[in-house]
Amino acid sequence: MVLITGCNTLIGNSLITRLLRKGEKIRAIDNWKDASIPDAVEFIEGNVLDYELLTEAFQDVDILFHLMDIENPAHDGRRHMKKMNIKGTENVLKAAKEAGVKKIIFLSTGEVYGNTGDLIVEEHHAKKPVTPYGKDKLKAEYLCQEKIEKEGADITIFRPTLVTGPNVDDSMILIILYMAMAMGDANQLYIAGDGDTRFQLIHPDDVSDAMLKAVENPSSRGTIYNLGSDDVPTQMEQVIKVREKAKLDCQIKHISPTTTKILSFILKPLGINYLRKEHVLFINSNFVLDCSRAKNDLKWQPSKNNIDIFVETIQWYENEKL
């Protein structure tokens, strides 16, 4: 039996599709059952703060994918976010041990590195998260590493960069698409500064592929892997290629890094979930992860680059949202 916490996510949906193809029995936990969850999946409504629910849900489970988290405090507040991300992970690890779960895949984030400057970041580089999500995930990683070192738990940690694809609910991506395609003569694509910085995306299918390879590979035990796309273009190169491939009739507008930071500061108290701290981190500086370890250990290779991801997401947006 395979269990997924946070099954309503992009990665959760991708994992379910692939696991069903392999004939696996799947149990899943989330706060509600999304319409995309197949009837073949045994669904449990709840979250990882409910320890009693976890002890029951983990019975007969061999493989656990812990994806459930909160990326920003916009809806439930920072205190609840922190509790879900850290205490929730502690509950999951404890319940998994009691149930005898053999393999745990933990979803972290590339945000644990913070502002990386011009570095192409490897897993051993310093972790200095600047976002609440990055800080929570780093603390949750420490909980995992403690279980690995003290109890010999078989846990693999993944640090993907920004996960994007069809059905994305990230406000920055959606507003970018809205501005590019749905505003008539005023449609525009914005880039920060001169457009010479690079930010790396990853498709949910590529994340789930790496996770499944880790389950099958004993060398992944106790290992941390970066995940991101290959051939990361500059913002300017990316916008030009996306506009051409997606046949967008929009202007390219520059917005200064200072203006981006000011807008982020102004919008935060208004509760507008756009240009959050992590968004500013991605668009105002270089953010590229070195994924050599995953490629070498797991024989993994990302199937889609930034351009492919944006074009596929645009096609979904045109069909489903416009």
- Residue 282 maps to a domain: no
Q: What pLDDT does 176 receive?
A: 63
Digit-coded pLDDT (tens) for 269-304? 545 454 555 555 656 678 999 999 999 999 999 999
Q: What is the CATH number of the domain that holds 128?
A: 3.40.50.720
Residue 63 lies in a domain: yes
15 within a domain of the structure (yes/no): yes
Q: Which helix (H) or strand (E) holds 109?
A: none
pLDDT for position 194: 76
User: What total of structural domains would you count in the chain?
Assistant: 1
Q: Higher model confidence: residue 247 or residue 44?
A: 44
Answer yes or no: is 280 within a domain: no
Nearest-angstrom CA–CA distance, 279 and 102: 36
User: Closest Cα to residue 294, out of 207, 198, 231?
Assistant: 207
Which residue range is the domain that position 80 belongs to? 2-164+201-229+288-303
Residue 10 lies in a domain: yes
Q: What's the confidence (pLDDT) of residue 89?
A: 98
Ranking 42-46, 146-150, 173-177, 296-300 by mean pLDDT, the lowest is 173-177
- pLDDT for position 255: 65
Q: Identify whether 320 is part of a domain.
A: no
Cα 165–chain centre separation:
11
Any domain includes 241: no
pLDDT band at residue 267 using 50, 70 and 90 as cut-offs: very low
Q: How confident is the model at residue 183 (pLDDT cuts 50, 70, 90)?
A: very low
18 falls within a domain: yes
Task: Please tell me the distance from the alpha carbon of residue 8 to that of residue 204, in angstroms, as a whole number.
Answer: 12
